[in-house]
Amino acid sequence: MDDIFSAICREALESRQRDVSSFADAGLRSISDRLERRILHLADGHYILGLGPYNAGLVRMDYEELLLGREVPEFIGVGMPVGGFRVSAPEAFLTVEVSRIHAKITRRGTESEPTYRIVDLRSTCGTFVNGDELPKPDLEGPTEEECARDLRSGDFFSLGPSAVNLFLFFQKG
């Protein structure tokens, strides 16, 4: 399974480098044939594919909560492990668009029919789903639940407006 993940990560980065804008516009249909063939070997489930030059990678959504950001901790509190997708980049890029803990994705529903929601965690530069900026929760305004948005297979989301840290949420199977 590790070879499949590695191959997908490499192919995602190559796809991103070839033509990010058409990839984002056309969605899954524009994924290269090699990447599509490798995705077919994955186990059924929901995945997040990092497509940016600093976040290329694949995460299977086996988590109740997945944090996204520059400094995602392995534990929050005592005995509370969380999954996280840490965006790694040279120092010059770290503070440009991605906050330390930028956004989170939560799983709800049943094991056979899960639903996923993404919410911005009051990041500096915002979280965008298919190009639309998500509202930010506020202590005296809208709650996280009110600001969260459902993710559907084929949705793209980015941490910051430039889509340098671009992700694809998809379901296999």
Confidence at residue 72, expressed as pLDDT on a 0 to 100 scale: 65
- What's the pTM value of the predicted model, to 2 decimals? 0.72
What tokens does 134 get? Answer: 């998500």
> Domain range holding 9?
2-172
pLDDT tens digits for 79-132? Answer: 444 445 555 444 444 446 788 888 999 999 888 899 999 999 999 899 999 889
CA nearest neighbour of 71 among 52, 95, 48, 92: 95
Number of domains in the chain: 1
Confidence at residue 58, expressed as pLDDT on a 0 to 100 scale: 81
pLDDT tens digits for 40-80? Answer: 788 888 988 887 666 767 888 888 888 888 776 655 444 44
pLDDT tens digits for 18-42? Answer: 544 454 455 545 555 666 677 778 8
Confidence at residue 111, expressed as pLDDT on a 0 to 100 scale: 83
| CATH number for 163 | 2.60.200.20
Confidence at residue 106, expressed as pLDDT on a 0 to 100 scale: 92
Residue 10 above 90 pLDDT? no
Give residues with Cβ within 8 angstroms of 61, minimum separation 6: 45, 46, 47, 48, 105, 107, 114, 116
Residue 140 above 50 pLDDT? yes
What tokens does 62 get? Answer: 């086996």
In DSSP terms, 104 is beta-bridged to 67, 119
Rounded to an integer, what distance in angstroms lies between the CA atom of residue 67 and that of residue 74?
10
What tokens does 13 get? Answer: 């980065």
